[in-house]
Amino acid sequence: MSTRLQLAQLDLGNANRAYAAGQLDLASQLVALIGGLDLVISVDTSVVHLAAAMGKSVWLLNRFAGCWRWLRDREDSPWYPGLRLFTQRERGDWDDVLERVRGEVQRLCRDVPMQAASA
């Protein structure tokens, strides 16, 4: 094997390790960010799964014929106890989903007493 080819392979290996390290750094930053939240509201992304696996409260904005893992006619998930589903009742109708979420956020804000700011 030529020295040039060996050097090229070494550079590629270092680039892959640097990329992986960068991805791990991003993931750890995301975990830290989610860790500081009381509630995560999102569409179906890896953030939903990560936050729910961390035991966070998660509200999932779910499309009408959503992914199989969210099952049908449920507002909860057997896999993530803290996850709540807000599924479209009609295909493409996000307004209804967002209205329901807004109502729940307002309810939460009424139910949680404001903490006095420390001087």
Candidates 33, 83, 38; CA nearest to 62 is 83
Same domain, 45 and 99: yes
Same domain, 32 and 42: no
Query: Residue 104: pLDDT band by 50, 70, 90 thresholds?
Result: very high
Residue range(s) defining the domain that contains residue 89: 37-113
Q: What CA–CA distance (Å, rounded) separates 63 from 22? A: 32
pLDDT in tens, 44-102: 788 999 999 999 999 999 988 777 676 777 887 888 999 999 999 999 999 999 999 99
Query: Residue 12: pLDDT band by 50, 70, 90 thresholds?
Result: low
Residue 92's contacts (CB-CB under 8 Å, 6 or more residues apart) are: 64
User: Which pLDDT value is given to residue 111?
Assistant: 81
Q: What CA–CA distance (Å, rounded) separates 102 from 59? A: 11
DSSP 8-state assignment for residue 38: S
Q: pTM of the full predicted structure?
A: 0.72
Q: What CA–CA distance (Å, rounded) separates 119 from 70? A: 46
Q: Are 88 and 63 within 8 A, CB to CB?
A: yes
Q: Are 101 and 61 within 8 A, CB to CB?
A: yes
Asked if residue 48 is part of any domain, the answer here is yes
Asked if residue 18 is part of any domain, the answer here is yes
User: Which pLDDT value is given to residue 95?
Assistant: 97
